[in-house]
Structure 1
């Protein structure tokens, strides 16, 4: 065969895809196909897992022009990566879209729910510490811990800055665990609560209207406070609150609607396929990736546990008991986590409606996860000195 290729050089150009195909490439095709299957068959974060899966297939075709790094023929996935991931643009644009979709009125009305959301970020820091003991560098360990917040854009933003080579598996883990909230959270909650605790009723609280002025000033105040505490978080929290400001201003409905639909859809599409393009066999098929997937699950579970245990702790000192399950809603998976917890309460007692409280904590989790990401960004360079 080698002699034939030497005699007819054009054959090498024609057959190089077959000649350089390895079992690792085939495995990655399977990984990409699995992500597409989960998106289509089970509706697991389809807007992201489907593009990621397809991008992974494109990146693992031998000599794929989609990921070419030759100066005269740079692949489009490499171009998108340099234009949107390497400079952290895509995650920031996603935050603008998310902010435009968020209604922070439940958080403004009941600020104490931020305590539950803060407690639900425990898994981030616990997992980061654990990952360092397993041999990961602190920047990598912190990036792994962020998975626990169930906040894909924050995970991508932190990874793009401090764990570029782990971007693919970190992103896949974050979005997979987000989509698995209905599978992961219920058994974890049942394991650390009693039936009586899950049946605690929290009466409906009259929702006093939040003035438009308050809702308009809220994003401005959050940006100033978070920016002063952790300036490195301004890009994250600033983009989130800018999107919300567009919505609450009431004078740029076209921009707000664009952020919620066209911008969100376009950036999600480009972000997904670009992340998939980073999932090459040599990066993905490693023992560290298995550890990342396992540690991501640990982070997610610990975040759930942290929120629930904090609620149980409050009950020890409070005459007005809270249903500890709402503590699990402090992650960023909104409104999925709030709905899952509300359904669990109804299953325990068909007359127990805690959806109002669960969604309130879940909204707070949106802000808390971004703030936690900002703290991680601030801590990494400080601890590396």
Structure 2
């Protein structure tokens, strides 16, 4: 009987907290529909890795017999040793993205850059707060990248920097991605007036040739590689996925990348991340601070994009002004952010259709976030 109850008696209060967190993630995934493909496996995995003597983690049995755990093996092989899972996921993401709205209206590209403001704002903030919370410069970069609203980029940057707060950063990144429909409207209303939110932007798409669509991912990869060499893995795999979509001769591979491949990688990634959600490392004061700083990064990204659009409007004539909500779509959370902007625009004016403009900014944000991650990976080691 004692043997059967040893698991129950070994449960700590920190593990109980993780059961609650796992349950919350599952609830948000199933009942609220927030990023279910990721939050559900993450939530269930958080419960698995926090069961006492869990068989999903490496153990040594009586007699010194090693018993490898599947989640620990996945983490050590596919993230710790190679960062393979987050990078491979970008192939599927790239295959899903239609850059047509961006290529049709290239000025939307600037919002993909402006909306990365929160990353560098939070990086600077964490650098200043570091002495009080024990954060290093590498930790600051890893926490700041939460503002990219891009889970794979956050995972890759924090893993390369070797921050001990990897689990909290991953959970924060995916949680705020899922909460885009809640967080972004609040941030947008904070810095805009109703009159600004009602600005109409007629959409006049230009034809985008097949040659342009094919050359775009190639040129972006080369330019990003020259400007931010450390971003090549992320940008390159993202653009490779898009090239599969646009080349026109690999339709079956493109569909596989968008569906089966992306789904398998997402499933494995959600479970694998849970290895870093073990109670002893996750339930700390620093985790709470990271969640708050991640929220600040996400909000400041949104505000940065909106304020940049408002700045542009100072120099634009009447009839040519930009609805500042478009700037908020410059974050990487595609297509959720674009949908949020469209929904808010229709609520203010049921004839105001901003979706295609917002999508242009949103897909540029996907590129901007991975380049921002590459810049941090290049610059931060210079000061370590």
How does 1:129-278 map onto structure 2 within 5 Å? 129-135=124-130, 136-205=135-204, 207-278=205-276
Q: Is the 8 A contact 1:243 1:256 kept in 2?
A: yes
Alignment of 1:51-200 (within 5 A): 51-70=41-60, 72-86=66-80, 87-135=82-130, 136-200=135-199
Alignment partner of 1:284 is 2:282: yes
Consecutive unaligned residues in structure 1, runs of 5 or more: 1-10
Alignment CA distance shift 1:381-1:12 (3 Å): farther
Q: What is the distance in 2 between the residues matched to 1:237 and 1:296?
A: 23
Which is worse superposed, 253-262 or 234-243? 253-262
Matched residues in 2 for 1:322 and 1:69: separation?
58
The structure with the largest alpha-carbon Rg is: 1
Q: Which runs of 5+ in 2 are unaligned?
A: none
Worse-matched range after superposition: 117-126 or 174-183: 174-183
1:33 CA drift (Å): 1.0
Q: Distance in 2 between matches of 1:236 and 1:122?
A: 20
Aligned-residue offset at 1:14? 4.2
Deviation readout 1:69-97 (Å, 9 max, x if unpaired): 54821100111001211110000110011
Q: How does 1:359-370 map to 2 (within 5 A)?
A: 359-370=359-370
Aligned-pair RMSD on alpha carbons?
A: 1.4
Q: What secondary structure sits across from 1:208 in the alignment?
A: coil
Paired positions, count: 373
The secondary structure found in structure 1 opposite 2:98 is coil
| Contact persistence 1:58–1:277 (CA under 8 A) | no
Q: C-alpha displacement at 1:13, in angstroms?
A: 4.8
The SS at the match of 1:44 is coil
Per the alignment, residue 382 of structure 1 pairs with: 382
* In 2, Cα distance between equivalents of 1:163 and 1:293: 18
1:227, CA displacement in angstroms?
A: 0.5
* TM-score (normalizing by structure 2): 0.94
Q: Among residues 8, 15, 20, which one is paired with 1:30 in the alignment?
A: 20
Question: Could you tell which deviates more after superposition, 86-95 or 372-381?
Answer: 372-381
